[in-house]
Structure 1
Amino acid sequence: MDLRKLREQIDGIDEQIVALYEKRMDISRQVAEYKIETGKKVFDRQREQEKLARVKTLTHNEFNSHGVEELFEQIMSMSRKLQYQLLAEKTGMGRLPFIGVDELDTKKARVVFQGAEGAYSQAAMMTYFGDAVDSFHVDSFRDAMSAIDEGSADFAVLPIENSTAGIVSEIYDLLVEFENYIVGEQIIKIEHCLLGVPGAELSDIKRVYSHPQSLMQSARYLADHDWQQISMQNNAFAAAKVAKEGDKTQAAIAGEHAGKIYGLKVLKKGINHSGSNSTRFIIVTNQKIFRKDAGKVSICFEVAHESGSLYHMLSHFIYNNLNLTKIESRPIEDRNWEYRFFVDFEGNLADSSVKNALRGLREEARNMKILGNY
C-alpha cells in the first residue's frame, strides 16, 4: 500500500466530514430558532440517548461502536452550545441575578471573623478593611455565616485554603448551605511563632497549644523537642489560654499579631517549615453583588454519577475559552459516592463568554450555584 495515497483518501473523507458537520450545525441553528419560538428546552437527554443508541447500531464492530458514541456526544454537545448562545442573544436569557457595583460599600460595614482576638482571620480582615474596621468575632465558621445571613454583620472573613494544608472543607459546605456570596479575597502569609509568657525561655516549655494544622505545619521544628502537643480550636484561643494561665511551661503557636495582643513573648519566630505558607481568606456577604472589575468566578455543581458527566461539564469552559484556576470535590451528604464540584475560573459575570458557559452548566448540571465573582 502507498501511504501517501491512503492519506489522500483520509483527507478526502475529512473534507466530507467537515462539510457535513457545517450542514448539521446550520440545521442546529434552525432547531434553536424553533425552540426559541416554542419555548422548548435546549437539552433533551432522552432524545440524545436514543440518538446515541441508534448511531451505535450502524457500526460493524465494538471498537467503532464506542468511537461513534464518543464522536456523536461531542457533535451534540457543540450543537447545544450553539443553541445556548443563540438563545442568550435573542431572548436576553444570559442575564444573571447579580448586580455589578463599582466598589464594595465598606465604610460603615460591620465585619465578623471566626476565632478570637489575634487570629489570622483578624489580620486578614484588618488588611482588607483597615485597622479601624467595626468588627466582632465568633466561635465557629457556621456562626460567622449565620451572622451575615441574619444581618448582624455585613461581611464575614473566612479562611478557605492554605497553601500547604489544602482547603478548609467546612467552608465549601457552608457556601452551599447558606445564601451568602464571595465578593473578595485576601491572602495572608503565615508565619507561626512559638509564644510564651514574659520571662519564659525555650528550656522552660513542656506543653504547646495550637490548631492541628499549625502543629502539623510546625512538625519539623516540634520534632526536635520533647513537648506535649495539645490541639486547640484556634491559634488565637491557644495564645489567650497561655496568657491567661501565666504558666512558663506552656507555649502557643500563633502569629506575631496574636503575641502582641495577648502580651506574649516570641520565643522562636517562623517555626513553620514552609517559608511560602499562605492562607487565602474570602470576604462573604448576603447580597448578590460583584465588583465590575472582578476577575474570578466561583461556582459549584453536581453531575450524574455516570461516565463522562464531569468531562461534559468542563467542556463548557473549553468552548468559551475560559481558564480554570481550581477544581475541588466534596461528597454529597446522604448520597454515597456522589460528589459536588467546586470550580474557580477567570472571568466576570458581565462577560458574554461567562454567561454562555454558566447557561450551559445550569441546563445540564444538577443544582449549579454561583458562589461569587471577585
Structure 2
Amino acid sequence: MALKGAVKLGCVPQLGISDLSFRPSGFVCYRVRDKDGVCRWEWTPRAIRSTNDDKTPSSAVELQRVVDQSRANGSGRLVKESSSLPRPLSITDVTYSPNDGKKVRISYKGVPGAYSEDAALKAYPQCETVPCDEFEDAFKAVELWLTEKAVLPIENSLGGSIHRNYDLLLRHRLHIVGEVQLAVNLCLLALPGVGTEQLKRVLSHPQALAQSDIILSKLGVARESVDDAAGAAQFVASNRLRDAGVIASARAAQIYGLNLLAERIQDDSDNITRYLVLARDPIMPRADKPFKTSIVFTLEEGPGVLFKALAVFALRDISLTKIESRPQRKRPLRVVDDSNTGSANCRYFDYLFYIDFEASMAEPRAQNALGHLQEFAPFLRVLGCYPMDTTL
C-alpha cells in the first residue's frame, strides 16, 4: 500500500497485524508542507484515554474475546514455578491490576534472574518486573495495560539479531522509547557443596552454551539447551540436581540459592546485548541529547533501489547504526518479469528493511531524510525515536 501524504508514528497501515481494538495514543508525527512549500514534521498530542474506556476492556465479554483470541494464537506455555517467586505471566492470565503509581511495571520474557530482568533494572532501578512466558506475552502485557513497559533483547554482539523480536515489532503497536546496552556476565552455578569436578552436565540457553565453549570443553560435560538460562537455575535448585550446573547470571545464583563457581566464563569478554524498551505511547523527540530513530520500510524491485534508500541518509550526514532485512511473512516472494535477461516470472524474496540511525525526529535533517525516503518506499513506519544508551 503506498503511503502518500502524512506518515504517522506507529499508526500507518501495518503488515500482518491482528487488530485487538487498541487505539493508539500519545503523540503522532505528521509530515506537512507550509505556505512556502517547505516540508517539515510536526508532533501533535492525541486525546488522553479515559479510564473506563481504555484502561480495561469495556465489558467482561470483550475481555473474554481478547483472551480467547490470544489462546487461539498458541500462547500459554508455563515455566516451572517456585512458591517463593512470581509466576511468569502467560497471555491466559489476563486480569487487570491497576498500578499504584509508585513503580513502573515492566514485562520481560523469562523468570526472575533473567538477563532481560537485569536490563530492566538497569534502565529503571526502582521498577517492578513482571516475568512472562514468551516474547509476545511481554508485548501483550503492555497492550492490555498489565504493565507500562516491556524490555526485550534485539541483538547480541556475538549471537547477532533476535529475529523473532523484529517480527513482533511490526506485528504489535508498541513504540520504542529507549534502549539498554548490557554487558553480559556468564556465570557457572551449581548447588551449594557441588564442585566443578562433580558436574556431568550443564544447562543453559543455546547462546550461553555456545559462548562458553572453551570452559565447557575443559570440563568435559554434556550440554543441555533450555529456553531460559534463569529458568535452568530455577530447575536445578528446585530439583536439587547435584550432577548439573547452570550458566546464568550472578543474580540468578542469589535468587535460587546456588553457588557461583566461576564468573565471566564466556569465550569473548566483550559480550554485549542490546535491549529495547517498549511502551504504548511514543516519547517527544528532542535535539539537546543523542537520540536514535528506528524505522521499517519496503522497497519496490529495481536496480539500485536499496542504494537510493540508504543515500537519503548519507546525503544528510546521518550515521546508520543498524540495518536488518527480513522477508515479509505474508508475502515472502515477489514475481518479476525480468526483461533484461529474457526470463519471465522470476521469483525474488520480498523484504522488509529495519534501520536504526543516529538522529532525532526533532532535527530537520531526519525529517527531510524520511520525507525523501517516502517518495519511493511503498511502506514506511517509524518504530520509535528514543535516547541512545551510551553507558555499559
- TM class by shorter chain equals 0.7 to 0.9
3-state SS of the aligned residue for 2:139? Answer: helix
Between the aligned partners of 1:188 and 1:366, the Cα distance in structure 2 is: 35
Match of 1:309 among 305, 311, 327: 305
Between the aligned partners of 1:284 and 1:294, the Cα distance in structure 2 is: 18
Match of 2:323 in 1: 327
Match of 1:185 in 2: 179
Between the aligned partners of 1:223 and 1:339, the Cα distance in structure 2 is: 40
TM-score normalised according to structure 2 size: 0.69
Indicate conservation of the 8 Å contact 2:156/2:273, yes or no: yes
**In the alignment, is residue 120 of structure 1 matched against residue 66 of structure 2?**
no
**In the alignment, is residue 94 of structure 1 matched against residue 40 of structure 2?**
yes
3-state SS of the aligned residue for 1:364? Answer: coil
**In the alignment, is residue 367 of structure 1 matched against residue 379 of structure 2?**
yes
> Which of the two has higher C-alpha Rg?
1
3-state SS of the aligned residue for 1:289? Answer: coil
Gap runs ≥5 in structure 1 = 1-39, 42-84, 101-105
**CA positional deviation for 1:259:** 0.8
Indicate conservation of the 8 Å contact 1:96/1:349, yes or no: no
3-state SS of the aligned residue for 1:329? Answer: strand
**In the alignment, is residue 129 of structure 1 matched against residue 124 of structure 2?**
yes
**CA positional deviation for 1:93:** 5.2
What pairs up with 1:139-178 in 2 under 5 angstroms?
139-178=133-172
**In the alignment, is residue 350 of structure 1 matched against residue 347 of structure 2?**
no
Match of 1:29 in 2: none
**CA positional deviation for 1:86:** 10
**In the alignment, is residue 296 of structure 1 matched against residue 292 of structure 2?**
yes
Match of 1:110 in 2: 105
- The letter of the residue matching 2:234 is A
1:149–1:89: structure 2 CA closer, same or farther, 3 Å change rule?
farther
**CA positional deviation for 1:290:** 3.6
What pairs up with 1:24-103 in 2 under 5 angstroms?
87=33, 90=36, 94-96=40-42
Between the aligned partners of 1:262 and 1:315, the Cα distance in structure 2 is: 51
Deviates more, 1:317-326 or 1:279-288: 317-326
- The letter of the residue matching 1:114 is K
Greater strand fraction, Structure 1 or Structure 2: 2
- The letter of the residue matching 2:299 is V
Indicate conservation of the 8 Å contact 1:183/1:290, yes or no: no
3-state SS of the aligned residue for 1:90? Answer: coil
Indicate conservation of the 8 Å contact 2:32/2:39, yes or no: no
1:89–1:124: structure 2 CA closer, same or farther, 3 Å change rule?
farther
**CA positional deviation for 1:291:** 4.5
Deviates more, 1:87-96 or 1:111-120: 87-96
Between the aligned partners of 1:91 and 1:118, the Cα distance in structure 2 is: 55
Indicate conservation of the 8 Å contact 1:109/1:134, yes or no: yes
3-state SS of the aligned residue for 1:194? Answer: strand
**CA positional deviation for 1:123:** 0.8
Q: Kindly, what percent of the aligned residue pairs are identical? A: 34
3-state SS of the aligned residue for 1:320? Answer: coil
Indicate conservation of the 8 Å contact 1:115/1:137, yes or no: yes
TM-score normalised according to structure 1 size: 0.72
Greater helix fraction, Structure 1 or Structure 2: 1
Between the aligned partners of 2:285 and 2:259, the Cα distance in structure 1 is: 41
**CA positional deviation for 1:232:** 0.8
1:99–1:328: structure 2 CA closer, same or farther, 3 Å change rule?
farther
1:87–1:98: structure 2 CA closer, same or farther, 3 Å change rule?
closer
What is the CA deviation profile of residues 63-101 of structure 1, one whole-angstrom value per residue up to 9, with x for unaligned ones? xxxxxxxxxxxxxxxxxxxxxx9946736752255769x
Match of 1:240 in 2: 234
**CA positional deviation for 1:204:** 0.9
**CA positional deviation for 1:335:** 1.6
Match of 1:196 among 190, 197, 203: 190
What is the CA deviation profile of residues 98-138 of structure 1, one whole-angstrom value per residue up to 9, with x for unaligned ones? 769xxxxx9642211111000011111111101x3122110
Between the aligned partners of 2:171 and 2:42, the Cα distance in structure 1 is: 20
